Amino acid sequence: MDKQCKKLILGIGNHLRSDDAAGSIVARKLKLLGFTSIDAEFMPENYIGVIRKHKPEKIIIVDTCTMALPPGSVRTIPLHKIHGGIVTTHSMPLSAVIQQLREITPKIMLIGIQPETIEVGDTVSEAVTHAINQIVTTISNGEEVNLPML
């Protein structure tokens, strides 16, 4: 892993909380397509060392976020907005994880997916499944910068 990768996808999600699994699912699908991709589940802070070894030029984080939008909505979220109202469902605040990732690269993008439900369950809603497929296609085509911004 001494070679620098162009972009690394960091999927965050909990497979036991319905739509909250979305970021993890995106990461797994992109890994199958050959991308440098990590499914960090709900503990992204545990993967900082692994990410550092990849030396990514850019990190794309995918996570479900409460954004007061219709379920399945996809937005890139400016990092400065994370402190003000964007809610994730994980143990360590996403802002703290991003602060650690900035030591690796300043190029960090957060893609948020509005969940329909994050109740206990293993079924992802139709709206979020569509969003997952949209994000996989968008990143695969190198068009993530064209996603709408929050």
Residue 131 lies in a domain: yes
Looking at residue 84, which CATH number applies to its domain? 3.40.50.1450
Residue 1 lies in a domain: no
Residue 84 lies in a domain: yes
Contacts within 8 Å (CB) and 24+ apart, 97-105: 97/44, 97/45, 97/48, 98/61, 100/45, 100/48, 101/10, 101/48, 101/51, 101/59, 101/61, 104/48, 104/51, 104/52, 104/55, 104/56, 104/59, 105/56, 105/57, 105/58, 105/59
**pLDDT digits over 58-89, tens only?**
999 999 998 999 999 999 999 887 764 454 55
Lowest mean pLDDT among 30-34, 40-44, 94-98, 106-110: 94-98
Residue 68 lies in a domain: yes
Residue 150 lies in a domain: no
Q: How far apart are CA 125 and CA 131, in angstroms?
A: 10
The mean predicted confidence, pLDDT, of the chain is: 90
Extract the tokens encoding 87: 């809610």
Q: Give the model's confidence band at 94: pLDDT under 50 very low, under 70 low, under 90 confident, else very high.
A: confident
Residue 2 lies in a domain: no
Domain containing 112 equals: 7-145
Provide Rg for the chain, Cα atoms: 14
Q: How far apart are CA 63 and CA 95, in angstroms?
A: 13
At residue 88, the pLDDT reads 53
Residue 58 lies in a domain: yes
Residue 75 lies in a domain: yes
The pTM (predicted TM-score) of the whole model is 0.91
Total structural domains within the chain? 1
**pLDDT digits over 99-130, tens only?**
899 999 999 999 999 999 999 998 999 999 99
What single letter denotes the amino acid at residue 145? Answer: V
Q: How far apart are CA 89 and CA 108, in angstroms?
A: 20
> If we measure between CA atoms, which residue out of 97, 129, 78 comes closest to residue 10?
97
